[in-house]
Amino acid sequence: MKTTDNTILITGGGSGIGRGLAEAFHRLGNQVIIAGRGQKALDETTTANPGMKSLTLDLSDTKSIQSFAAPDFYAKPRAEIFDLETQLKTARDKVAHLYARWHELELLQSVPSP
């Protein structure tokens, strides 16, 4: 992914890791749109980062997902979507796989040789 001159949508961008990523991409000169459930957190983030935009989105609510639309975002070329929840799940899955493999190797080493 090119890290500058993109339009980037970050879910969970109003706080925590998502906010940190949003601010970092914004500082690099990207148009950043943050999405999340809490309007207050979204407003605080966009106020602290002039030019950043926000959209309310609750990924656990079907109606919220159905009504979610960002025409400015989708009209841009080279638009990137950074779905924080998916990225974290992928990372957790990779760590779990590595841990399971490590544990398996540890068990094999503890078995005495014939």
For 16-51, the pLDDT digits (tens) are 988 999 999 999 998 898 988 899 999 999 999 999
- Nearest residue to 49 (alpha-carbon basis) of 70, 36, 72, 32: 32
Helix (H) / strand (E) element for 87: namely helix 84-110
CATH topology of domain 7-84: Rossmann fold (3.40.50)
pTM of the predicted protein model: 0.62
CB–CB of 35/57 below 8 Å? yes
For 95-110, the pLDDT digits (tens) are 776 777 776 776 666 6
Residues in the chain, overall count: 114
